[in-house]
């Protein structure tokens, strides 16, 4: 499952409130390790012109995200410098985010990350059928399952943008979500048309006895697997 731009079980129900002491604790726990994680943090700090106040708050946000990913046991990988038809994709092994330092909006990155995390939850804790497994030969059934899961993941991603926005006050433009994302639920017809070819490809690969077990085996994903880097 993925967010294509050619194309929960776990939901906070309480308002997140961070006290001043908790803010300082989270700031003190953020470390520099030269990882993609730190590179992405520095990218967003540059977007606020290195403001000490906002930079500290960005540290807090990413520490919060890091703790969530770590506590849930998710494997998040980054595909840097990529030119691919997706912004994020979930495989059976990893949650993949494409070029996170290309984002001008923290809201967009949070949405894409948690959209894909939701797909991991769907196939994990919720034990839902993966429509990209190649086991659904009827296209209409395939599409209905796929789109229902996409809308669920879309809503989850948008909820997390609001949660992060409530967590820390930053300039409004950093939380602004792009029209392609907010309008995604209205793109069902376009997505359906693109899925026709993907579904046909999956069925043909299965019939040809190709080693196909999910989205990681799709050509547009598989060719990039060796380039993946750890996010954390």
Encoded tokens for 35? 């990882």
Confidence at residue 206, expressed as pLDDT on a 0 to 100 scale: 86
% the chain with pLDDT above 90: 69
Q: What is the pLDDT of residues 197-230, one digit of tens each?
A: 999 999 999 888 777 888 888 888 888 899 999 9
Q: What is the pLDDT of residues 17-58, one digit of tens each?
A: 334 444 444 444 444 445 899 999 999 999 999 899 999 999
CA angle 163, 168, 172 (to 5 degrees): 85
Domain ranges of the chain: 14-230
Confidence at residue 21, expressed as pLDDT on a 0 to 100 scale: 45
Rg of the chain over all Cα atoms, to the nearest angstrom:
18
Q: What is the pLDDT of residues 72-103, one digit of tens each?
A: 999 999 999 766 667 899 999 999 999 999 99
Q: What is the pLDDT of residues 141-179, one digit of tens each?
A: 999 999 999 999 999 999 999 999 998 999 999 999 999
Poorest-confidence range of 7-16, 67-76, 83-92, 103-112? 7-16
Confidence at residue 84, expressed as pLDDT on a 0 to 100 scale: 66
CA angle 11, 25, 78 (to 5 degrees): 55
Encoded tokens for 84? 């691919």
Q: Which residue has the higher pLDDT, 9 or 26?
A: 26
Residue 124 scores a pLDDT above 70: yes
């Amino acid at each position: 499952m993925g967010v294509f731009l050619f194309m929960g079980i776990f939901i906070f129900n309480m308002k997140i409130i961070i006290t001043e002491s908790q803010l300082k604790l989270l700031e003190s726990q953020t470390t520099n390790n030269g990882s993609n994680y730190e590179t992405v943090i520095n990218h967003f700090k540059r977007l606020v012109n290195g403001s000490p106040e906002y930079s500290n708050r960005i540290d807090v946000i990413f520490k919060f995200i890091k703790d969530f990913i770590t506590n849930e046991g998710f494997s998040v990988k980054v595909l840097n410098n990529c030119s691919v038809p997706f912004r994020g994709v979930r495989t059976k092994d990893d949650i993949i985010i494409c070029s996170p330092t290309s984002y001008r909006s923290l809201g967009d990155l949070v949405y894409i990350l948690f959209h894909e995390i939701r797909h991991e939850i769907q196939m994990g804790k919720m034990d839902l059928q993966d429509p990209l497994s190649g086991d659904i030969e009827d296209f209409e059934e395939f599409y209905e399952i796929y789109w229902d899961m996409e809308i669920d993941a879309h809503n989850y991603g948008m909820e997390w943008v609001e949660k992060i926005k409530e967590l820390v006050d930053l300039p409004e433009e950093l939380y602004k979500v792009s029209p392609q994302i907010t309008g995604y639920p209205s793109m069902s017809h376009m997505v359906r048309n693109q899925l026709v070819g993907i579904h046909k490809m999956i069925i043909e690969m299965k019939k040809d006895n190709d080693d196909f077990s999910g989205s990681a085996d799709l050509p547009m994903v598989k060719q990039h697997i060796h380039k993946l880097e750890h996010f954390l």
